[in-house]
């Protein structure tokens, strides 16, 4: 039976939103990233490949430092080239495969070996880094925009918390997503208790 068009549009919209939410949820700023490697002999048998020339290089989801990291690469790691963004003048990135992971590395941090002419140009669809608040020491999380509100819990220090909103553009309070006693919650914390990081320049909603 054919679905009515309005219902079909609603269904497709809901599916797209669900997929977008899942993509964002996959990145955890506190998670330890893998350090994948390739078999060197396998890579060297290719017409061309790359070698990482620095330590602790992020393999990213897109061709920009504003996108989420997928893995960390050690210096000397050999990379299989799957594509490039076709840019020059310091904006060149390579799309590579390493240890079952795929992502982007910036040209200045790798050495080209062999012949990479004819490498296909690949579109980047990386996920921008979400704003996060770094809390150095345990801090109270309030249910309201006031120090007189209910304390949901003291959130753990030395962790990043995803930012949901600010109380004003020059924030004195920041709304974050956290876990209290095993329960996912949203609450407010004094801005001075943490360090706001927003390397992708994502617009943060203002509430209150």
Note the pLDDT tens digit of each residue in 75-90: 999 999 999 999 987 8
Q: Is residue 23 in some structural domain?
A: no
Residues 109 and 47 in one domain: yes
As a whole-number percent, the residues of the chain with pLDDT over 90 amount to 79
State the CB neighbour count (10 A cutoff) for residue 174. 23
Q: Is residue 10 in some structural domain?
A: no
Q: pLDDT category, 30, cuts 50, 70, 90? A: very high
Last residue of a domain, which of 83, 114, 145?
A: 114
Residues 106 and 137 in one domain: no
Q: Is residue 153 in some structural domain?
A: yes
Q: What is the pLDDT of residue 205?
A: 95
If you write DSSP's letter for every residue of 128-165 in order, what string do you get?
BPPPEEEESS-EEEESSSSTTS-EEEEEPSSEEEEEEE
Last residue of a domain, which of 59, 85, 114?
A: 114
Place of tokens 């310091």: 90
Mean pLDDT along residues 31-36: 97
Which residues face 89 on adjacent strands?
A: none
Q: Is residue 205 in some structural domain?
A: no
Residue 20, token pair as written in the block:
């977008």
Residue in 64, 56, 69, 66 with CA at minimum distance from that of residue 26: 69
Q: Is residue 3 in some structural domain?
A: no
Residues 82 and 144 in one domain: no
Last residue of a domain, which of 114, 146, 163?
A: 114
Q: Is residue 20 in some structural domain?
A: no
Note the pLDDT tens digit of each residue in 47-70: 999 999 999 999 999 999 999 999
**8 A C-beta contact, residue 172 and residue 126:** no
Q: Kindly provide the residue ranges of all beta strands, DSSP E only, lying in the chain, ordered along the sequence.
A: 48-52, 57-60, 69-73, 78-84, 93-98, 101-106, 110-114, 132-135, 139-142, 151-155, 159-166, 173-180, 183-190, 194-197
Mean pLDDT along residues 178-207: 95
Q: Is residue 158 in some structural domain?
A: yes
Q: What is the pLDDT of residue 112?
A: 97
Residues 107 and 46 in one domain: yes
Mean pLDDT along residues 151-170: 94
Residue 179 maps to which CATH number?
2.30.30.40
89 lies in which domain range?
40-114
Half-sphere exposure of 175 (CA within 13 A, CB side): 18
Residues 46 and 109 in one domain: yes
Residue 150, token pair as written in the block:
């209910």
Note the pLDDT tens digit of each residue in 82-130: 999 999 878 999 999 999 999 999 999 999 999 999 999 999 989 999 9
Q: Which residues, including other chains, have CB under 8 Å from residue 13's CB and lie 6 or more apart? A: none
pLDDT above 90: residue 15: no
Query: Looking at residue 192, what DSSP letter applies?
Result: G
Q: What is the pLDDT of residue 26?
A: 57
Instruction: Give the chain's domain count.
Output: 2
Mean pLDDT along residues 4-24: 41
Q: What is the pLDDT of residue 121?
A: 97
Q: Is residue 207 in some structural domain?
A: no
pTM over 0.85: no
Q: Which residues, including other chains, have CB under 8 Å from residue 145's CB and lie 6 or more apart? A: 167, 173, 188, 207, 208
**Residue ranges in 28-174 assigned as alpha helix (H):** 40-44
């Amino acid at each position: 039976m054919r679905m009515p068009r309005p219902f079909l549009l609603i269904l497709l919209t809901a599916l797209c939103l669900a997929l977008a939410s899942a993509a964002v949820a996959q990145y955890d700023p506190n998670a330890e990233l893998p350090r994948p490697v390739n078999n060197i002999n396998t890579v060297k048998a290719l017409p061309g490949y790359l070698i990482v020339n620095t330590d602790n290089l992020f393999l990213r989801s897109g061709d920009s430092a504003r996108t989420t990291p997928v893995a960390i690469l050690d210096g000397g790691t050999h990379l299989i080239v799957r594509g490039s963004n076709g840019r020059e003048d310091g904006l060149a990135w390579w799309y590579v495969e390493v240890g079952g992971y795929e992502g982007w590395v910036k040209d200045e941090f790798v050495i080209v070996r062999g012949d990479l002419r004819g490498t296909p140009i690949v579109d980047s669809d990386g996920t921008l880094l979400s704003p996060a608040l770094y809390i150095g020491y345990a801090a109270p999380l309030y249910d309201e925009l006031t120090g007189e509100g209910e304390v949901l819990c003291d959130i753990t220090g030395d962790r990043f918390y995803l930012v949901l909103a600010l109380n004003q553009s020059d924030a004195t309070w920041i709304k974050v997503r956290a876990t209290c006693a095993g329960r996912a919650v949203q609450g407010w914390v004094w801005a001075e208790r943490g360090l706001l990081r927003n390397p992708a320049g994502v617009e943060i909603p203002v509430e209150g």
